[in-house]
C-alpha cells in the first residue's frame, strides 16, 4: 500500500502520488463507486426571478471574462452561486477552511455547514475525474475531523475529587462519532461551469460520485435548488436523498 499506516499527509502529497481515486480512497479505508445520487432540487418560486436574472447575466458576461485561472472561475461562477443559495436558506460558509482530520490535513475551498455539511472543491484546467479525486480527499479529511470525539473541560477541583473516588472525568464523550455528527457528508466539485456532487457515507465507509453533472448557466436553477435543499431546514418529513431503490435514514442528522 502506498499510503503508510500512521503517517499524516497533506492534500497535495496524496494527489501527487498520481493514483486513481479508487486507490487513494482504499488507502484511506474507503470504498469508491459511481452511481446516481438522485438529489432532489427545491426550486423556490419566490427566488425564480433572481435565478433567471443571474443566468442571463452569466450568458451576457462570459464572452468578456476569460477563464484563465481558478480565481476567475471562483469569482465568476462559484461565489455568486453560493451567495444565491445563501439568499434562500441560512448556513455557515467557511472559506479556505483549514482541516486536519485523521491522516490528512490541508485547506478546503469552501465548507458549508447547514442542515447537512457540504464540501465545495474548485479546480481549474483539470478534467472532472481529477477534480473529484481532489474533492474525495477533502471530504475524507472533513469527515474525520467532524467525527472526532468531543472533550468537555473539567474544573481541577472536580478532577481531583473524581480521582480520589476512582472515576474518570473529561475526555471523549463517545467512542464513535461525536454527538450530533451526521453519518453522511456531501461534496461538490466545480471547474467553473461544470459541477458534480459526491456523497461520503461514514457508516459504510464509502464515497459515491454522482453520475449526473450540472452545466452552468443552463442548470443553474437545479443546482441552486439542490444545494438549498441540502443546506436548508427540512420542511417536510420526506427524505431529500434517494439512491436507486434504496432509502437512507437521516436519523443522525
pLDDT at 125: 67
Q: What percent of the chain lies above the pLDDT cut of 70?
A: 77
Q: What is the DSSP letter of 232?
A: S
Task: Give the count of domains, the chain.
Answer: 1
Q: Are 124 and 77 in contact (CB under 8 A)?
A: no
Give domain status of residue 76, yes or no: yes
- Structural domain of 111: 9-148+187-237
* 7-21, 73-87, 142-156, range with the lowest pLDDT: 142-156
- Kindly state the cell numbers that stand for 153: 473541560
Rg of the chain (C-alpha set): 20
Q: What is the arithmetic mean of pLDDT over 160-184?
A: 53
> Over 50: is that where the pLDDT of 123 sits?
yes
Asked if residue 173 belongs to a domain, the reply is no
Does 158 fall in a domain?
no
Q: Considering the entire predicted model, what is its pTM?
A: 0.80
**Res. 135: pLDDT tops 80:** yes
Q: Is residue 244 part of a domain?
A: no
Cell numbers of 174, please? 463517545
- Whether 230 is in a domain gets the answer yes
Amino acid at each position: 500500500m502506498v499510503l503508510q499506516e500512521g503517517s499524516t499527509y497533506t492534500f497535495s502529497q496524496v494527489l501527487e502520488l498520481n493514483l486513481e481515486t479508487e486507490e487513494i480512497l482504499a488507502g484511506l479505508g474507503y470504498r469508491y463507486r459511481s452511481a446516481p445520487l438522485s438529489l432532489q432540487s427545491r426550486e423556490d418560486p419566490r427566488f425564480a426571478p433572481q435565478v433567471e436574472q443571474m443566468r442571463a447575466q452569466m450568458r451576457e458576461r462570459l464572452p468578456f471574462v476569460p477563464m484563465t485561472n481558478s480565481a476567475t472561475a471562483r469569482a465568476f461562477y462559484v461565489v455568486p452561486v453560493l451567495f444565491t443559495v445563501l439568499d434562500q436558506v441560512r448556513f455557515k460558509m467557511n472559506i479556505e477552511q483549514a482541516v486536519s482530520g485523521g491522516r490528512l490535513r490541508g485547506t478546503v475551498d469552501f465548507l458549508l455547514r447547514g442542515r447537512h455539511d457540504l464540501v465545495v472543491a474548485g479546480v481549474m484546467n483539470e478534467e472532472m475525474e481529477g477534480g473529484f479525486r481532489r474533492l474525495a480527499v477533502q471530504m475524507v479529511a472533513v469527515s474525520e475531523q467532524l467525527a472526532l470525539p468531543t472533550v468537555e473541560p473539567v474544573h481541577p477541583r472536580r478532577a481531583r475529587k473524581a480521582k480520589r473516588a476512582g472515576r474518570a472525568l473529561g475526555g471523549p464523550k463517545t467512542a464513535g462519532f461525536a454527538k450530533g455528527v451526521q453519518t453522511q457528508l456531501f461534496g461538490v466539485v466545480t471547474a467553473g461551469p461544470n459541477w458534480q456532487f459526491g456523497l461520503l457515507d461514514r457508516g459504510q465507509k464509502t464515497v459515491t460520485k454522482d453520475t449526473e453533472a450540472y452545466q452552468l448557466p443552463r442548470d443553474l436553477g437545479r443546482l441552486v435548488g439542490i444545494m438549498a435543499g441540502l443546506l436548508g431546514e427540512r420542511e417536510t418529513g420526506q427524505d431529500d436523498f434517494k439512491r436507486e431503490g434504496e432509502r437512507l435514514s437521516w436519523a443522525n442528522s
